[in-house]
Amino acid sequence: MAENRKIVVAALPQGKLEESHYDLVTEPVPAPGDGEVLCRTLAVSVDAGARAGLQGSATYAGAPQTGVVMRGSAVARVEASNDASVSVGDIVSCGAGWQDYSVHAARTVERIDYDGDPADFLGVLGGTGLTAYFGLLAVTDPKEGETVMVSTAAGAVGHIVGQLAKIRGCRVVGVTGSEAKNARLVGELGFDGVANYRDGGFRQALKEATPDGVDVYFDNTGGTVLGSALFRMNQGGRISCCGVVSQYDTANPEPGPRGIPGLLVNKRLRMEGFLVFDFADRYGAARAELKDWMASGRLTAWVDEFRGLESAPRAFVDLLAGGNVGKRIVRVSD
C-alpha cells in the first residue's frame, strides 16, 4: 500500500526556527469518506506568514500545536473522489499542508481551470498575488505619479506590489536586504529606486531613493523599516499593513516604531491592516486582471522552487533568512 509522507511540527521554536523543529513521518495513505476527495500534492506554498502560526500566542490562524502536519496551501491532483462535484484527475487548490496525500471535504477544494503551471495558484494567482493586488489597490488606491515604497520588495508579495504600482503609473521604490535582489528589481522589473535595509547607510539611501517622499508604503516587515518609512511619508500618506516579517522569527518582538502615533497625527497618515480573505468575493475579477497583465508582459511572476517534500523545512528556514527571490514553493510531484 502507498505511503503518505508528512512533515510535522516536532517542537515550537523559542527563538529562530530551525529544520530540527520538524520531523518527516510516514503513514498509510488516508481513504476519503462520503463527500470527500483524496488529493495528491503537486506543490506546496512556503510563506513567511506561516512562521507567525508557530508563535506562542494565537494569531488569526489559531494557537500553535506540535505533532500536526505543517499547514500550507497546495495545488494537487484528485486521485479519488466520493463527491459528484469533483472528478479524478481534476487539478485543485486545497489546504493540504506539507504532505504527499490529503483528504478534504469536496466543497473545500477549488478546481483550477488554467492553461499554465498550476503552481501559479500558489503565487501570482494565489494568496500572495491576491494579497499584493488588494493590499495595494484596494487598501491604498495609489494615484498616477505618486511614490509607492514596498518592503521585502523581491518577495512573493513585494515583487508583485511593485509591478502593480508601475502599472498604476507610480514611482516605485523597493527595500530588501540584498544588493543582488535590488539589482534584479531595477534591471528586470523596472523599479525606480531601491535601498538595502541591512546597509548602514539605509536611511540616507532611502531618502535619496524617495526625493519626493513616499505617498504609499506597503509594509511587509514592521520594525525598523516601518520606522524609517514613517519619516519619509508625505502628508496624507497611506500605509498598507500586510505582515510583520521582521518580527516572526524571534521570541522577542521589538516595540513599535517611535513615531506612532505622533507622526500619524502630524502628517495625517492612515495605517490599515488587512487580510486577503476579506476580499474573497473579488478574487475572480482580480485573477482575470492579473492574468491579462501577465499575458501582455506587464507583470512577471518570479517563482523560486525547491524540489521534493523533504526539502520544505530547509526552504522555509532559508525563506525566513531572506533567501528567496519571488514566490517560494516546494515541488512535491509532477
Q: Give whichever of 107 and 270 is closer to its own copies, judged by the CB atom.
A: 270
Min CB(221)–its own copies separation in Å: 9
Q: Which residues pair with 111 in a beta bridge?
A: 92
Query: What residues form DSSP beta bridges with 9?
Result: 22
| Chain contacts with its own copies (rule: CB under 8 A) | 52, 59-60, 219, 222, 226, 241-244, 247, 253-275, 278
15/251 Cα distance (integer angstroms): 5
Least distance from its own copies to the Cβ atom of residue 262, Å: 5
Report the residue number, 255 or 284, with the smaller CB distance to its own copies.
Answer: 255
Contact criterion met (CB below 8 Å) for 185 and 153: yes
> 322: phi > 0 → left, psi -120 to 50 → alpha, else beta; which?
left
Say whether 279 sits in a helix, a strand or coil. helix
Question: Is the sign of the CA dihedral 289, 156, 268, 169 positive or negative?
Answer: negative
Measured from the CB of residue 268, what is the shortest distance to its own copies in angstroms?
Answer: 5
* Alpha carbon 35 to chain centroid, angstroms: 31
User: From residue 99, how far is each of 5, 32, 89 by CA, in Å?
Assistant: 6, 16, 18
Q: How far is the CB of 267 from its own copies (least distance, A)?
A: 7
Of 270 and 307, nearer to its own copies (C-beta) is 270
In the bound state with its own copies, the residue whose beta carbon lies nearer, of 203 and 291, is 203
Minimum separation from the CB atom of position 228 to its own copies (A) = 13
The DSSP secondary structure of 34-45, one letter per residue, reads TTEEEEEEEEEE
Query: What minimum distance in Å lies between the beta carbon of 231 and its own copies?
Result: 11
Q: Closer to its own copies at the Cβ: 49 or 313?
A: 49
Q: Which residue's CB is nearer to its own copies, number 103 or number 226?
A: 226
